[in-house]
Structure 1
Amino acid sequence: MTRSRPARLHHIAGIGVDRMGSIADASGKDFLRLENLDTDILPDPEAIARTVHAATEDADNSYLPFIGQARLRDIAARHVSAISGVSYSGERNCVISAGGLSGILNVLLATIEVGDEVIVTDPTYAGLINRVRLAGGVPRFVPFSFEPGGEWRLDRTALRASIGPKTTAMLLMSPSMPSGGCLDAADWAVVAELCVAHDLLLIVDTAMERLVFDSRPVLHPAGLPGMAERTITVGSSAKELRMIGWRVGWIVAPDAFMPDLVAVSLANVVVPVGIGQDAVATALENSATTLAPYVDELQARRDCVLEELRGLPVGVPGGGWSLLLRVSDFGLDGAAMSERLLEQGVCATAMAGWGETHGGQYIRFVYANEPTRRLRALGARVRAALGL
């Protein structure tokens, strides 16, 4: 059979994580597993127990309700309301998705016309960039920047300059993946100013919203002037609740967007498995008290990696699960560094396709899946791979 590749796939980039994970799994070696956004920190025990019980319940072995179970929708809407300061209703303003990235794609399909430009940061997770392209959008990259050993900062001047006649939306994440760059209050104020002035939609990926370090406040832009009517929030059980395998997400949006969001949701996967939904509701409700020790552990792991890589050109993450090392300073690209690290017992992912300004010249280290006692082996291995 002769066929051409669909045009929508022409610019879809691989993310590299699958290849690196397969190499590590097949090797039988005890690699430092820093390649994938997994974590070894277990979910809320109460949520695990609820999942086990749900597997025996007829009501949970169901597609219904098609927009998600009522308790989860209510808790997700209240959660977003509490952080943003905007009043949302689970019944009117929330639909459940099969994971956060499925939710992002559903939002894009429901709001973006073919050819519309969507502003994203540089770097940004390739999976988000790919979903913009699958929906027919064109990503416009606005760089984060850093000085070695310093934090990533949003280039606000570039953000202002990025808006053109075809720009209709921004898709932003803070802490951003993979850099861990955080938008501060002044950044969000500029975002809000531009969205209102240019009548732009703001899609906020809150998968790591509360995983912030160094006593940073948790900030959500929907409560800023003029933003409640134009902000759609997508959340996920994966990172904040450590329930990656449950594949449960939520979309919280103003009333006007809901008919189209529901229509797309019903045409694309519908909902995640019923046995996971109420467990996620339990974990999300409990997270007001269970989150702090987890964030403390993540910060300890970040600090350990930063100490191991002291003196190397690393961008300091303000939150999240990962950080980036700029290996181009040593005449390498991320792909070459990834191969060298395998020889040193470290599995890490190159960043080609994750940005324009910040892409192939970086390697990413995920610190969420290894304890500090093992991360203390990282510095010597990285330096050996760099030939230092």
Structure 2
Amino acid sequence: MGTGTRPARLRHIQGIGVDRMGSLADAHPERDFLRLENLDTDIPPDPQAVARTQASAERDADNSYLPFVGQTRLREVVATHAARLSGVPYTADNVIISAGGLSGLLNVLLALIEVGDEVIVTDPTYAGLINRVHLVGGIPRFVPFIFQPGGEWTLDQDALRASITPRTRALLLMSPAMPSGAVLTQSDWDVVAELCTARDLLLIVDSAMERLVFDGRAVLAPAGWPGMAGRTISVGSAAKELRLIGWRVGWIVAPGALIPDLVAVSLANVVVPVGLAQDAARVALERSWETLPAYVAELQQRRDATLQALQGLPVGRPGGGWSLLLRTSDFGLTGEALSQRLLDANVCATAMTGWGQTHGAQYLRFVFANEPVGRLSLLRERLMAALP
């Protein structure tokens, strides 16, 4: 193979746009950009987790690769957390710690998806997840959310049913979904469970934001549905719910029968995150039942401030998460074109090219987690100045 030939596994890998937009804003620190392009947050993590990180720097036990599947106390707390949400009696033996949630998702896909297997994803979906399906040789099959300007995104259940083929191996779902903020309902999960059990499919859940839901919604963990505990793999993260973005800690919670293959892949790929971060994640996760409500309330206020700034425009109302989407085609623009125009108005936002088939290039994402309410109110004036 010559230097100019790319491996076939990279044929469908696309850029996600976020890194490029972030670099453009970082290159001009003198400008007062609204930083709405990346899933960061200015809301600090639990101070006790920060203190535990500092203490870990002086503990020899935290300066270690071992245990390869992750520190035992963290795995126990993750198991208790997952069991509390789902009702499934998980133990530490069901848990593997990963170097962030996305690393965990890649390990799950590598362990469970064969080349040519179809993996059901929603449309839109984070381009990084789509890339990971391609990277392992899987084929993403898109099921669209239904977009209603000013309303909430809803899952097209009929399209979900129609998407299943003999080659389908798994569903890869996230709720709240990224980037739309769509939240799957109990009815949606009923259909997912029905399809998985009837067709012997796996369910891979990106649970990184599962408790970041607004307007009094209940947290739903599909592993607790009848017949689903033995076929559901949940991949969590300390980044979104715990705000430990730079710590790079994630976890895989899976049925015991799948653990050996998941461990084998994990040991071949990164192994575990840094020891200095793992017990801090344990502290933050254990305390999150106390600390999370105020954080979710702040995110909801930011969501509301962003919706107020976009009132009357073709935007989808997120039921949770960190971001929302504006349909730019209503103004005769692609998401990329409006993104470039907004840079001149000191707004940094990411176009959704490559993030979906039905809902992709004609959308622009605004992340509301990284700016306070007062600054989010500046969005409308700047956006209107950028529109044709």
Q: Which residue of 2 aligns with 1:125?
A: 126
Q: Which residue of 1 aligns with 2:377?
A: 376
Q: Which residue of 1 aligns with 2:20?
A: 19
Of the three residues 45, 67, 70, the one matched with 2:69 is 67
1:40-79 alignment to 2 at 5 Å? 40-79=42-81
Q: Which residue of 2 aligns with 1:88?
A: 90
Deviation at 1:3, TM superposition (A): 3.4
Within 1, Cα distance between the matches of 2:17 and 2:224?
A: 37
Deviation at 1:305, TM superposition (A): 0.4
Give the aligned residue type for 2:52: R
Deviating beyond 6 angstroms after TM superposition, the runs of 4 or more aligned structure 1 residues are: none
Q: What SS does the aligned partner of 2:359 have?
A: coil
1:239-388 alignment to 2 at 5 Å? 239-387=240-388
Within 1, Cα distance between the matches of 2:296 and 2:146?
A: 24
1:164-203 alignment to 2 at 5 Å? 164-203=165-204
Any idea what the Cα deviations from partners look like across 1:71-111, whole Å, max 9, x if unmatched? 00000011011001101011x21000000000000000000
Q: Which residue of 2 aligns with 1:112?
A: 113
Q: What SS does the aligned partner of 2:361 have?
A: coil
Q: Which residue of 2 aligns with 1:208?
A: 209
Deviation at 1:146, TM superposition (A): 1.9
Within 2, Cα distance between the matches of 1:189 and 1:6?
A: 40
Any idea what the Cα deviations from partners look like across 1:264-287, whole Å, max 9, x if unmatched? 000000000000000000000000
Q: Which residue of 2 aligns with 1:220?
A: 221
Within 2, Cα distance between the matches of 1:350 and 1:317?
A: 17
Deviation at 1:380, TM superposition (A): 1.2
Give the aligned residue type for 1:168: R
Give the aligned residue type for 2:279: D
Give the aligned residue type for 2:360: G
Deviation at 1:130, TM superposition (A): 0.5
Deviation at 1:2, TM superposition (A): 3.4
Q: What SS does the aligned partner of 2:96 have?
A: strand
Q: What SS does the aligned partner of 2:27 have?
A: helix
Q: What SS does the aligned partner of 1:8 have?
A: helix
Question: Aligned pair count?
Answer: 386
Any idea what the Cα deviations from partners look like across 1:106-156, whole Å, max 9, x if unmatched? 000000000000000000000110011111100000001121100000000
Q: What SS does the aligned partner of 2:252 have?
A: strand
Q: What SS does the aligned partner of 2:381 have?
A: helix
Q: Which residue of 2 aligns with 1:232?
A: 233
Q: Which residue of 2 aligns with 1:100?
A: 101
Deviation at 1:6, TM superposition (A): 0.6
Within 2, Cα distance between the matches of 1:200 and 1:385?
A: 46
Q: What SS does the aligned partner of 1:27 have?
A: coil
Give the aligned residue type for 1:252: V
Deviation at 1:42, TM superposition (A): 0.2
Deviation at 1:26, TM superposition (A): 0.4
Within 2, Cα distance between the matches of 1:48 and 1:230?
A: 35
Give the aligned residue type for 1:371: P
More deviation, 377-386/290-299 = 377-386
Q: Which runs of 5+ in 1 are unaligned?
A: none
Deviation at 1:381, TM superposition (A): 1.0
Deviation at 1:342, TM superposition (A): 0.3
Within 1, Cα distance between the matches of 2:272 and 2:226?
A: 33
Within 2, Cα distance between the matches of 1:270 and 1:313?
A: 44
Of the three residues 32, 35, 38, the one matched with 1:33 is 35
Q: What SS does the aligned partner of 1:315 have?
A: coil
Q: What SS does the aligned partner of 2:171 have?
A: strand
Q: What SS does the aligned partner of 1:251 have?
A: strand
Within 2, Cα distance between the matches of 1:380 and 1:188?
A: 40
Any idea what the Cα deviations from partners look like across 1:179-235, whole Å, max 9, x if unmatched? 000000000000000000110000011000000000000001111111011000100
Within 1, Cα distance between the matches of 2:274 and 2:335?
A: 37
Give the aligned residue type for 1:34: L
Within 2, Cα distance between the matches of 1:327 and 1:371?
A: 24
1:135-150 alignment to 2 at 5 Å? 135-150=136-151
Q: What SS does the aligned partner of 1:56 have?
A: coil
Within 2, Cα distance between the matches of 1:134 and 1:320?
A: 26
Give the aligned residue type for 1:179: S
Within 1, Cα distance between the matches of 2:4 and 2:365?
A: 36
Within 2, Cα distance between the matches of 1:2 and 1:220?
A: 46
